[in-house]
């Protein structure tokens, strides 16, 4: 399966729905927040992904105060997400994308090296979408250290 193209900055994002934790369904349109932060990560319960989710957890109140809602996205099952969310005490929902529809829409499926083998997986990426459903900022190939602070700084500057 071919990897999709990335979304253009300031372009409207096509609406989508996906299952998420707490028995809810995520739909992009109609989100009440000024900004929606979607962060894509490779896999629950892995070191980098755990660190990234904890960083978003630890700054959750500041994101909320800045008018942003946070959602983590990976290909993991809802069952895996529910366990991961409970284990880390995450105050935000995790979106399950086992068929990669959302990952493909945002162009985060990439070929990468892991333990000397080439594998297809999720490229750690973060997207900020405004209340009108337009992409206002993206980070691709994210390194976890300092990233969540940078996203918060960007969101807090938006008016």
Q: Does residue 120 lie in a domain region? A: yes
Annotation says 49 is catalytic: yes
Q: Does residue 127 lie in a domain region? A: yes
Q: Identify the band that residue 114 occupies on the pLDDT scale cut at 50, 70 and 90.
A: confident
Q: Identify the band that residue 52 occupies on the pLDDT scale cut at 50, 70 and 90.
A: very high
Q: Select from 89, 88, 70 the least CA-distant residue to 20.
A: 70
pTM given for the model: 0.91
Domain containing residue 121: CATH number = 3.40.30.10
Q: Which of 7, 37, 38, 49 is catalytic?
A: 49
Q: Does residue 16 lie in a domain region? A: no
Tens digits of residue pLDDT in 16-38 = 999 999 999 999 887 777 999 99
Can you read off the two tokens belonging to residue 7?
A: 């979304």
Cβ-contact 40, 123 below 8 angstroms: yes
Tens digits of residue pLDDT in 141-152 = 999 999 999 999
Cβ-contact 154, 128 below 8 angstroms: yes
- The CA distance from 77 to 67, in Å, is 28
Cα angle 96, 99, 100 (rounded to 5 degrees) comes to: 80
Q: Does residue 24 lie in a domain region? A: no
Q: Does residue 10 lie in a domain region? A: no
- The CA distance from 71 to 91, in Å, is 10
């Amino acid at each position: 399966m071919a990897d999709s193209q990335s979304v253009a900055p300031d372009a409207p994002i096509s609406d989508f729905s996906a299952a998420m934790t707490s028995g809810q369904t995520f739909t992009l349109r109609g989100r009440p927040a000024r900004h929606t932060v979607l962060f894509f990560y490779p896999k629950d319960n892995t070191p980098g992904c755990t660190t990234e989710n904890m960083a978003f957890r630890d700054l959750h109140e500041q994101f909320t105060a800045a008018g942003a809602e946070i959602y983590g996205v990976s290909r993991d099952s809802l069952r895996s997400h529910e366990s991961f969310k409970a284990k880390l005490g995450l105050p935000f929902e995790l979106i399950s994308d086992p068929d990669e529809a959302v990952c493909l829409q945002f162009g985060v499926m990439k070929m990468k090296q892991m333990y000397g083998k080439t594998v297809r997986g999720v490229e750690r990426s973060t997207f900020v979408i405004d209340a009108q459903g337009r992409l206002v900022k993206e980070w691709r190939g994210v390194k976890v250290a300092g990233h969540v602070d940078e996203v918060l700084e960007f969101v807090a500057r938006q008016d």
